[in-house]
């Protein structure tokens, strides 16, 4: 991972929330929230909350008395989440998942929706989650499977590699889809002190009304945009159109539908 992989700023949070969230994140937020609700926690900490798709799912499924604390490294993402959220109270707090500003044994559940891939030190991030969990507390998170199992991301990455052959933008493969080795995940969680580790592969569908909208989501609503602009800021629109054309060639000129696959992980203190 490079430093810019964690930077969600400028126009990225709004585009991410508008296009990327419904494209790939919503079905997994509902899945994770349902698993968490089954535990019936009193206090839940969410790390790497992004623009709040999991937060909203938790708020609608957990008991009204459950305390929800949502954190993210990027204040701009939390601002977007808080602006979008309606209903029950949520505590929003900027925080690094590797240096959580909470006392030991403060929560029943720590949840992380597609954030663990961004931890520069996975074991340390997992150890922090364990530190703030109460005895028998549960850590529930999901990560993307390899990029070849996630069709839109794979097609966009290949299209941009053809546009920038000397220095292909590899953000999607490197970070969002770079932490899918189940054996390594189990090993890192065990090293952090977790037990009863369960990993489920969950498939879903990614849908958009057009290839263009899906291309905007990836090329302008994620740090992939930063990679494109670092190569040539004047070619962002060209890169988006190239990705849209590749998606349309693969999935059709109208509404597009592609497969996505993630790993859902549960571990106990």
**Tens of pLDDT along 228-239?**
999 999 999 999
Q: What is the CATH number of the domain that holds 35?
A: 3.40.50.150
Question: Above 60 in pLDDT, residue 76?
Answer: yes
Burial of 158 (0-12, 13-18, 19+ CB in 10 A): middle
Task: Identify the pLDDT of residue 2.
Answer: 62
Cβ neighbours around 170 below 10 Å, total: 18
> What value does the mean pLDDT take over residues 252-268?
97
Pairing outcome for strands 43-47 and 91-94: unpaired
How far is the C-alpha of 219 from the C-alpha of 78, rounded, in Å? Answer: 21
**Would you say residue 11 has pLDDT above 90?**
no
pLDDT > 90? residue 117: yes
Is 251 in contact with 258 (CB distance < 8 Å)? yes
Cα torsion angle, 117, 123, 125, 126, sign: positive
Distance from C-alpha of 54 to C-alpha of 112, rounded to nearest angstrom = 9
**CA distances from residue 211 to 8, 26, 201, 219 in whole angstroms, order as listed:** 23, 19, 26, 12
How far is the CA of 120 from the CAs of 3, 53, 124, 144, 167, in angstroms? Answer: 10, 23, 9, 16, 23
**pLDDT value at position 13?**
85
Q: With bands split at pLDDT 50, 70 and 90, how would you rate the model's confidence at 147?
A: very high
The residue range of the domain holding 232 is 3-268
Residue 5, pLDDT above cutoff 60: no
Domain total in the chain: 1
**Range with the poorest average pLDDT among 5-9, 10-14, 51-55, 94-98:** 5-9
Closest CA to 61 of 30, 89, 83, 85: 30
Residues 206-245 have pLDDT tens digits of 999 999 999 999 999 999 999 999 999 999 999 999 999 9
Rounded Cα–Cα distance for residues 81 and 77 (Å): 6
- Tell me how far apart the alpha carbons of residues 73 and 101 are, in angstroms, rounded to a whole number: 12
Residue spans of beta strands (DSSP E) within the chain = 43-47, 67-72, 91-94, 107-113, 133-144, 195-208, 256-268
pLDDT at 88: 86
| Residue 109 predicted with pLDDT over 70 | yes
pLDDT at 181: 98
Instruction: Report the Cα 4 to chain-centroid distance in Å.
Output: 15
Mean pLDDT of 40-51: 97
């Amino acid at each position: 991972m490079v430093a810019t992989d964690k930077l969600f700023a400028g126009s990225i949070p709004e585009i991410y929330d508008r296009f990327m969230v419904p494209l790939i994140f919503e079905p997994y937020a509902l899945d994770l929230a349902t698993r968490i609700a089954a535990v019936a926690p009193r206090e839940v900490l969410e790390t790497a909350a992004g623009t709040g798709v999991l937060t909203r799912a938790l708020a609608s499924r957990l008991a009204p008395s459950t305390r929800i604390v949502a954190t993210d490294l990027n204040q701009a993402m939390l601002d977007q989440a808080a602006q979008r959220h309606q209903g029950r109270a949520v505590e929003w707090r900027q925080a690094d998942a590797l240096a959580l500003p909470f006392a030991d044994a403060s929560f029943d559940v720590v949840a992380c929706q597609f954030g663990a891939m961004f931890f520069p030190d996975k074991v340390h991030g997992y150890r922090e989650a364990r530190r703030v969990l109460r005895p028998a507390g549960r850590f529930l998170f999901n990560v993307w499977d390899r990029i070849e199992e996630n069709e839109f991301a794979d097609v966009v990455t290949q299209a941009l590699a053809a546009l920038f052959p000397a220095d292909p933008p590899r953000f999607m493969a490197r970070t969002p889809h770079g932490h899918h080795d189940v054996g390594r995940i189990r090993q890192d969680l065990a090293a952090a002190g977790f037990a009863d580790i369960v990993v489920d592969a969950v498939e879903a569908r990614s849908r958009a009304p057009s290839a263009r909208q899906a291309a905007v989501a990836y090329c302008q609503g994620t740090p992939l945009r930063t990679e494109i602009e670092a190569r040539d800021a004047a070619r962002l629109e060209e890169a988006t159109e190239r990705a849209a054309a590749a998606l349309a060639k693969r999935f059709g000129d109208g509404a597009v539908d592609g497969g996505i696959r993630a790993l859902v992980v549960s571990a106990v203190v």
